[in-house]
Amino acid sequence: MTAPVPALELRGIHKRFGPVHALRGAGFTLAPGEVHALLGENGAGKTTLMHVAYGLTHPDGGEIRIRGAAVRIGSPRAARSHGIGMVHQHFTAIPALTVAENIALSAGWPVTPGSLRRRVAELVSKTGLALDPDAPAVSLSVGMRQRLEILKALAADAGILLLDEPTAVLAPSEITELLAVVRRFTAAGGSAVIITHKLTEARQGADRVTVLRRGAVTLTGLTSEFDNAGLTAAMLGDGNVEIGSPRPRGRPGAVVVRVRGLEVARESGYGLAVRGVTVEIRAGEILGIAAVEGNGQRELLRAIAGRLRPLRGKVEVPEIVGFIPEDRTTEGLVPELTLTENVALGSRAGDPWISGGRLDWSRARERTAELLDGYHVVAGSPDAPAATLSGGNQQRMVVARELARRPRAIVAENPTRGLDVRAAAEIHARLRAAADGGAAVVFYSTDLDEVLGVADRIVVASRGTLADVPPGAGRAEVGALMLGVA
């Protein structure tokens, strides 16, 4: 029996970014009707390889084939003409436009209000990804913005769907929903690639898997043929990664962060997100927040970090608060600026490169180089634009800049988003070290298991209020509190 012609083939792809050899003869084959997981640690070349397929990156060598025919894909427009759609790790929606207008812009639909709204409603109904067509994109949470990116790709009638870390900011129920949407897409004749570092999701959601390490393929085959240990060894090259055991929990110190009767409006401007919250975080303590998306945790974290002004109540924090936001490209870094310039943006009086109100760029560059080395950020140089770094290395850069300020309080919102197991373990260790050094840490993650593994004490955010989790409570008990059924 003749094997079906692949929907997409990438053969012998090479790509260099200055001294960084991102892809080393990488190959990838996507069969019709399959879900294919592309695994690898941060900087392995996963996103770069799919950017080649989508026309965002031009390879130095190799060949692209669509349904058996050799093609040249010089731009995303050319990729879309071949039926390729991409859901990017970093959101591309225009904040000032509505959901419907963003979808119309991406798919090339005419912007006629009545018919456009009906068309978007039909798309939402078909996919099961509920969004208000009239909602401005700027008002959407990160999870909702991810839904919008998926709807934009599906609206263009793509036959090949490339999804770059699509579950990084989704709650467990949303992940299940997303994988079901992808399955319906492939069952209808499409083909999908899911770029991920989450082994469980890859094994549950994909028919086949390909692993990249340092720009080269180390493994490919049916997902059912491999266990987690085999996939981890192929990704990292040295077997299992030691995540680290929980740190010894001493007695917390003095109160560092004090919140009293806090009320904060929703970022959209409609209604309250935080309702009468009172909480204290002490030196040496990691307070974990467990919550389903949209229960006020985002606004609470930003109020503690000084990014949102409360309507009522008090927030008492130290002069320096480190803030690691979940969206590194809109709140953490300015992609067009160099890494040195991004570090300088976080400067304050007293930093060694500031003297007499002037910034010493030479010293700032030296400090940036130290951070790149100390936090294992893979970048060409301190002068490289932040946009040229992989998502994981951008996240490392944000963490490096914030923790290097030695803040007495740290707000970490999904700090391991998009990171592989090794990089996530590094971030956890650094947050624990900061707490051991006397910092008060507020930690939120969409991954409940991560919250349970990192935090000393856990509170659940639900409908704008906080509830203490009893010591020793397990995953099921915390999950019930999150859903309001405890």
What pLDDT was estimated at residue 268?
63
pLDDT of 270 reads 63
pTM (two decimals): 0.60
Where the chain has pLDDT below 50, the residues are: 239-245, 485
Predicted local confidence at residue 73, as pLDDT: 96
The per-residue pLDDT for 243 is: 41
What does the block give as tokens for 346? 């976080």
- pLDDT confidence of residue 237: 72
